[in-house]
Amino acid sequence: MNDHAVKIAGGAPTGLMLAGELALAKVDVAVVERRPNQDLTGSRAGGLHSHTIEILDQRGIADRFLAEGQKAQVAAFGGTQLDISDIPTRHNYELGLWQKHIERLLAGWVGELGVHNVMANPAETNQWADLLAITGQLYGPPAGTSTGRPRAEPTGH
């Protein structure tokens, strides 16, 4: 696990998308996630915006999301529903899709790209220790061992 050029702490949408982009750029990347599986507490994100779908389309994976989501040609702005059917894109809609599904589909994609995607398994002590060693350097103690938020301490000016 320690011999990857880049280790990303967090296998949610941001971490998985970043991993995919790096893998496409031929960077040896691994993702470590402290959750034991992709179950989420609460619903979290409920969908994808038009431009996000465009980006997924550029990567050739938009269809995977479109096949599972619910299209809506409106965008919510401060409680107001805006018609986006005339915006200049072939994806002139938003897509309703819960984050757990977004993560699952992204995880499948990065897996195809050869990304090492590790989810924590406390039963496997070595793997968990490895995870802590990596993410601890980035964020400090994992969930359950600290009440603090992830640290992002500035270095230098």
Ligand X SMILES: Cc1cc2nc3c(=O)[nH]c(=O)nc-3n(C[C@H](O)[C@H](O)[C@H](O)COP(=O)(O)OP(=O)(O)OC[C@H]3O[C@@H](n4cnc5c(N)ncnc54)[C@H](O)[C@@H]3O)c2cc1C
Is residue 8 within 8 A of residue 18, CB to CB? The reply is: yes
Could you give the CA distance from residue 111 to residue 21 in angstroms, rounded to a whole number?
12
Query: Closer to ligand X at the Cβ: 41 or 157?
Result: 41
CB of 53 to ligand X, least distance (A): 13
Query: Minimal CA–CA distance to 122: which of 143, 146, 107, 148?
Result: 143
**Residue closest to ligand X, measured at CB:** 10
Query: Closer to ligand X at the Cβ: 35 or 71?
Result: 35
Strand ranges (E), the chain:
6-9, 29-33, 47-48, 70-72, 74-77, 80-83, 94-96, 116-119
DSSP classification of residue 12: S
CB of 157 to ligand X, least distance (A): 26
CB atoms within 10 A of CB 154: 5
Query: Closer to ligand X at the Cβ: 45 or 113?
Result: 45
CB of 100 to ligand X, least distance (A): 10
Query: Closer to ligand X at the Cβ: 12 or 30?
Result: 12
CB of 24 to ligand X, least distance (A): 18
Instruction: Point out which residues bind ligand X (CB under 6 A).
Output: 9-15, 32-35, 42, 44-46, 99, 135, 139, 142, 150
